[in-house]
Structure 1
């Protein structure tokens, strides 16, 4: 397999860096595009990317070290460290496995002053002050929780009497010589101005890339940039390769402990799900067991995969958003080339451009929609104060619906289409359709479309 040809073929497909290694040997590594659209500085392999949720397995690895040192246990109740937290019977294990039932902290910042930087302590304070209802009792089911990993970072600080930044640096980054990895801070960009791969979003109305703070849909998230545990770590492809090798070799962690983290979690003997403790888990026919995570934050998309049995590591870091399905297909094509010894580059899709619809048309779509297959769940469509239409899906941040035409919309950067016709909402993702019907909608006459 000529990996140099693959490296050339990847030119102009994405803005970022990539690395593929097997048996201690790097097969493919490349840097593409530019690190900054302001300076047009070229991208380099040492560029630091916001890892977003790829920070979660790192937080989990930090927790495993505390368990290994017998400073905490999986089954410790977290009120041991958060005595004012208005939620009981939640353990460290529940936080790691996303089975805590804690509400999403991002919703608590809907009225936050966007000029004020939010911290992990602010998350804890808002949870304590407002005590939003839990989604379910701990251990009842699994639902992805950013809140749980913010609390894990705070737990690390309570147990070690060090900041999360200090602990991760001393316990993991320095021992593994991950010299270009650090936890973000308010002084981070000043310290590493020329080393950062800056993230950019695509303004679907202007048809150009801008900083997240300059785009209406994403500017509200910038105050959350310094919350850590669930995200907030910056790193490079090479440093993640070092981490992957250390995990495969069990260099810092007991093998038995890693095996627990890499075992699919279970609610009952019959009910398991493909998430361990900080890692998504699946079995690949050629490469064997894969433990991995991906992440996304305005401008950034990240993937970090470890195949312990075949000693394979794949890292993909991107800093200019584009169609997510396309980027996933690029990664899959690179990994597949290991087995078939051929690389087939997927076709690059068109970048959607949005059109404006009248407020009257948008108001016709507002309301709650009940999922056909899961009637216990609803999807809400609502206009915000700025007359922009948002969809509220279970366990996600509100996402803006951008119109392609009167009854067809897209979610920016994630390859999801939404149609609303005759009070029926259809969400199309990865070729699969999810249908929901409007609740308390007036009956429609045949062939009469409601707007």
Structure 2
């Protein structure tokens, strides 16, 4: 009898696993998405141990210890303060928080679900929004900007030029002191466009004649998203990217044009600037009203959900992503990095795509190796941060591999 009861308990566990998989598959929504792999569908009974191929415990422990030692050293040497997530082959291997929400008073220990300003890492999401509209047939990458913003004072600039930073436009933040001196009045995307229309500042070069990394490009792309979708940019992002990808703690910060800029942003983890030996909390800024180039708040886990959503074509098709990851400028021997649609690329790696971010009190790093199926996400609330070479060393470390799963759970279950 004890042996029979043990068999019944084992069968009950297997049945429960199958029920969860069956329920997730039938409640998953769009059947065209790769929710359940054929391997699951073929098997009538699947033990829990077979849903994910087991990783050798020694490999996992060594991998975790290797990553942990890097960030412990960085915390001691540089005062690293932030959150980290490392994933390999669709498995979260390492997730940890270091330091405090208030690093000056050492108060409020950070947690992995802390919401950080992503700075320029926001650009990959703005590009994704444009590509979603392109897949829906609502715009084309080579459309002229003036199709959407007829009053724009410069000719010949296309969405492709904006995406790849080949427009030649100047940076709006450098023009603000001259044309937007009132520190208490937020500059919005509409205000930024009006500033260019009224003053027509000189461009660096004609469209497609060079590369110049420029926040103006992605602020304009956010305005295009609004013009095409007829909803505010922050709402489009929430409904078309954050919710479908399971990014429940992500949002776009926005300031109404008639508001007054004062005090601090009362959202997310506060940011701190290094002033000599002192850390100073960063106050709110009139430029925080511009969206698309920055202004997104998220967590390391939400960003990993975005990584999963891209890997499994939840947001965009593979052929669209292939174009997004392609160099947008001519490849030159003197310059190793390049820029696609919201993603940086590197000449020494065919499979590495990434982005870094800095904005007044925050640094962010989003590194992906598509060939090795590795992702490293680092968010900090200090303007000073370790060099990215430490993070690439983790990505390029081939020791202690974490193998592929023998079968994957439905995307909805993984994202929860």
TM-score (norm 2): 0.73
Indicate the SS of the match to 2:174. Answer: helix
Deviation at 1:341, TM superposition (A): 5.1
Q: Which residue among 159, 166, 174 is the counterpart of 1:99? A: 166
Q: Which residue of structure 1 lines up, in the alignment, with residue 301 of structure 2?
A: 238
Relative to its length, the structure with more helix (as a share) is 2
The equivalent residue for 1:82 is: 149
Aligned equivalent of 1:126: 195
Q: How many residues align?
A: 327
Matched, 1:197 2:258: no
Deviations 1:267-288 (A, max 9, x none): 5999996211111012666xx6
2:289 paired residue number: 226
RMSD: 2.8
Distance 2:298 2:108 in 1: 18
Relative to its length, the structure with more strand (as a share) is 1
Q: 1:256 offset after TM fit, Å?
A: 1.1
CA-to-aligned-CA distance 1:207-255 (integer Å, 9 cap, x gap) = 2211123xxxxxxx82212211111100110011111111122222121
Unaligned runs of 5+ in 2: 1-58, 257-261, 402-416
Structure 2 match to 1:183? 252
Q: Which residue of 1 aligns with 2:33?
A: none
Of 18, 34, 49, which residue of structure 1 is paired with 2:84? 18
**What is the match of residue 20 of structure 2?**
none
Q: Distance in 1 between matches of 2:230 and 2:114?
A: 31
Structure 1 residues 91 and 19: alpha-carbon distance in aligned structure 2, compared to 1, 3 A threshold: same
- Structure 1 residue runs of 5 or longer lacking an equivalent are 214-220, 343-451
How far apart are 1:265 and its partner, in Å? 1.7
How many Å apart are 1:149 and its aligned residue? 0.5
Specify the alignment match of 1:316 in structure 2.
378
Say whether the 8 Å CA contact 2:359–2:383 is kept in structure 1.
Answer: no
Aligned to 1:73: 140
How big is the shift at 1:3?
A: 3.8
In the TM superposition, residue 198 of structure 1 has moved relative to its aligned partner by 1.2
Q: CA deviation at 1:81?
A: 1.4
Structure 1 partner of 2:117: 50
- What are the Cα deviations for residues 173-206 of structure 1, in whole angstroms up to 9, with x where unaligned? 000110011001249x99x95x7221101121xx
| Cα drift, residue 261 of structure 1 | 0.9
Measure the CA separation in 1 of the matches of 2:289 and 2:281: 17
2-structure distance, mates of 1:88, 1:302: 34
Contact 2:120 2:294 in 1 (8 A): yes
SS of aligned partner of 1:327: coil
Task: Report the Cα distance in structure 2 between the residues aligned to 1:199 and 1:274, rounded to whole angstroms.
Answer: 29
Answer with 64-73 or 195-204: which moved more: 195-204
Higher relative contact order (CA 8 A, sep 6+): 2
Counterpart in the other structure of 2:32: none
After alignment, is 261-270 or 51-60 more displaced? 261-270
The answer to whether the 8 A contact 1:283-1:290 is kept is no
Pairing 1:7–2:7 present: no
Tell me the alpha carbon deviations over residues 353-373 of structure 1, each in whole angstroms, 9 at most, x when there is no partner: xxxxxxxxxxxxxxxxxxxxx
Q: What does residue 398 of structure 2 align with?
A: 339
